[in-house]
A and B are shown apart, each in its own frame.
Chain A
Amino acid sequence: MVPLWMYLVVAAALFSLGTFGVLARRNGVAVLLSVELMLNAVNINLVAFWRYSAPTEIGGFAFAAFVFVIAAAEAAVGLAIIISIYRSRHSVIPEEADTLKG
């Protein structure tokens, strides 16, 4: 098999791409897309560590499976919030949703 560090490098690259997207994009939907990239980078890491260091234990496997649940919940609620903000303010830029600012 491929050495473990190669998976880690791929995951690190994906995470950095996601970070760039989150920081540089202004559109809320685009930010969420990048967040999904970061979550998946983390999941690659989790599964790789599980496979290389404790493949007979269920814990690591279950951890990765629960990340899917979080990702699904996050996407659903995040997009609902963006759509709701778009309805009231006609903008999907997170910085412009600042009515709570004093």
Chain B
Amino acid sequence: MLELNFVTVAFFVFSLITLGGGWGVVTNKNLFRGTIWLMVSLFGVAGLFLTLSAPFLAAVQILVYIGAIAILFTFAVMLTRSLTNLRERYYRTWVNVLGAGALFLLLVLGVIAPVWIANPDRALPVSDQVVRTVDFGVALASGEGFVLPFEVASLLLTAAMIGAIVIARDADEA
């Protein structure tokens, strides 16, 4: 039986926010509102990270998504504004509803239920100790840690930035 404490309540609240926001994203006709719903959903995900004792990831989630990607999406929605109100909302709706529903059932009944619900010993964390943010920072910069992925990631970001500027630029501006 579930113990009722802060973490449990927070989990259910944030799950509700996450899934409610996700529902808003896929059902909303208005794309600007869809973007805001995405932010609500990702805010819920940040909350879930908090309940998983990863405050660093939660803060980065809010910073990257709400601070940067949300703004990108709103700009994209406005630059393509004539289509903000979608005329036809969906395409092959029922097939896709059935497909997504089947995927969900497959994941829950086929993977999660037999492996994790059936084994109660896998339900709880193996330890209450978690990685500290400082250790993560040290690992990112140390040779035995993640210095190579870190450098590759920054290279990727630089490439993406340059690429985005080049692609989105007007041809006659160049």
Contacts and interface: CB of A to CB of B under 8 A. Distances in A.
Contacts of B15: 6, 10
B164 A44 contact: no
Label chain B's interface by main secondary structure: helix
A29 B77 contact: yes
A92 to B, nearest CB: 5
B135 A58 contact: yes
Contact of B130 (A36, A55, A81): A55
B168 A83 contact: yes
Contact of A65 (B7, B8, B136, B170): B136
Given A52-B125, A56-B131, A76-B161, A44 B11 contact: no
Nearest to B32: A29
Determine the interface band of chain B, counting residues with CB < 8 A from chain A: 35 or more
B26 A12 contact: no
Contacts of B80: 29, 82-83, 86, 92
Interface in B17-54: 18-19, 22-23, 25-26, 31, 34-35, 38, 41-42, 45, 48-49, 51-54
Interface in B82-99: 82-83, 86, 88, 90-93, 96-97, 99
Contacts, number: 247
A100 interface: no
Interface of B: 2, 7-8, 11, 15, 18-19, 22-23, 25-26, 31, 34-35, 38, 41-42, 45, 48-49, 51-54, 56-57, 60-61, 64-65, 68-69, 72-73, 75-77, 79-80, 82-83, 86, 88, 90-93, 96-97, 99-101, 103-104, 107-108, 112-113, 116-117, 120, 122-131, 135-136, 139-140, 145-146, 149, 153, 156-157, 159-161, 163-165, 167-168, 170
Closest 7 CB pairs between A and B? A73-B160, A3-B123, A20-B100, A16-B104, A80-B164, A21-B26, A12-B107
Given A2-B7, A19-B99, 15 more contacts: A1-B124, A4-B124, A9-B112, A17-B25, A23-B100, A30-B31, A37-B26, A37-B38, A40-B42, A47-B52, A50-B54, A51-B52, A70-B156, A71-B69, A77-B160
Interface of A: 1-10, 12-21, 23-27, 29-30, 32-34, 36-37, 40, 43-44, 47-48, 50-58, 61-62, 64-66, 68-77, 79-84, 86-87, 90, 92
